[in-house]
């Protein structure tokens, strides 16, 4: 059974680093590469960081109902193609998605048993410092990202788990612990439990109650 892990965070919270560490540390995970209409930045590689397509192609995919979720952010489309989930199921892996609050809400509606994780920076001041340290954005863009962060964090209570990324090593370990725990949740391993119960002679995998 494929478990879907949705990870959201304000820009600059360290979400991408946490996801990279998670994928490097635990087996059986695959990362969902989103589609976008924005231009590549820096050393981004098509097919690895994003699938970069134009607006017309993205809108064609929307019309064909090929996205699990999609959103328009700052004039550019972002979306998760349904093929990412299908491939994870075919290969028997769990799927990790790095998406915003809007996309997470859409995806949770379509996949109710998806596991949602919100990453919080330790403070607004720390988030601004991290954004400026990246030297990627103008002052105007940084102000906009901070304003967006203030809106996004209001949704933290909609998530199953919240990680405060103050210490990267600790946050990484906590993220891995969430994945490990969810993998052994009873409803996720029911198909493995039933054959074991059957070896004890329990019809339909139901254990008899003691008198």
Q: 86-120 as b/e, with b when 16 or more CB fall inside 10 Å?
A: eebeeeebbbbbbbbbbbbbbbbeebeebbbbbbb
Instruction: Indicate the Cα dihedral angle 174, 178, 183, 184, nearest 10°.
Output: 90
Choose which CATH entry (3.40.50.2300, 3.40.50.10490, 3.40.50.300, 3.40.1670.10) describes domain 4-192. Answer: 3.40.50.300
**41 vs 47, higher pLDDT:** 47
- pLDDT category of residue 206 using cuts at 50, 70 and 90: low
Which of 38-47, 96-105, 151-160, 194-203 is the least confident region? 194-203
DSSP string, 89-125: HHHT-EEEEE--HHHHHHHHHH-TT-EEEEEE-S-HH
Indicate if the pLDDT at residue 186 is higher than 90.
no
DSSP string, 1-30: -PPEEEEE--TTSSHHHHHHHHHHHSSSEE
Report, as an integer, the average pLDDT of 122-149: 88
pLDDT score, position 203: 65
Indicate if the pLDDT at residue 73 is higher than 60.
yes
Non-local (6+) Cβ contacts of 193 within 8 A are 186, 205
pLDDT, tens digit (0-9, with 9 covering 90-100), for 51-67: 999 999 999 999 999 99
pLDDT, tens digit (0-9, with 9 covering 90-100), for 8-39: 999 889 999 999 999 999 999 999 999 999 99
- pLDDT category of residue 150 using cuts at 50, 70 and 90: very high
Mean pLDDT score across all residues of the chain? 91
């Amino acid at each position: 059974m494929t478990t879907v892990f949705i990870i959201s965070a304000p820009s600059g919270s360290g979400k991408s680093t946490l996801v990279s560490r998670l994928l490097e540390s635990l087996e059986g995970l695959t990362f969902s590469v989103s589609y976008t209409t924005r231009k590549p930045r820096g050393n981004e590689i098509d097919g690895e960081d994003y699938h970069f397509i134009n607006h017309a192609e993205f809108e064609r995919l929307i019309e064909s109902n090929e996205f699990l979720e999609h959103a328009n952010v700052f004039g550019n489309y972002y979306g998760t193609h349904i093929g990412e989930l299908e491939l994870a199921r075919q290969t028997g892996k769990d799927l990790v998605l790095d998406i915003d609050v809007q996309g997470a809400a859409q995806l949770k509606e379509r996949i109710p048993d998806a596991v949602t994780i919100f990453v919080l920076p330790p403070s607004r001041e720390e988030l601004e410092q991290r954004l400026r340290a990246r030297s990627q954005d103008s002052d105007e863009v940084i102000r906009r990202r901070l304003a967006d962060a203030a809106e996004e964090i209001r949704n933290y209570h909609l998530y199953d788990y919240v990680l405060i990324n103050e210490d990267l090593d600790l946050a990484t370990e906590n993220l891995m612990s969430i994945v490990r725990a969810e993998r052994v949740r009873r409803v996720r391993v029911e198909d493995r439990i039933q054959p074991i119960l059957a070896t004890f002679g329990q019809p339909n995998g139901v254990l008899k109650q003691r008198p």
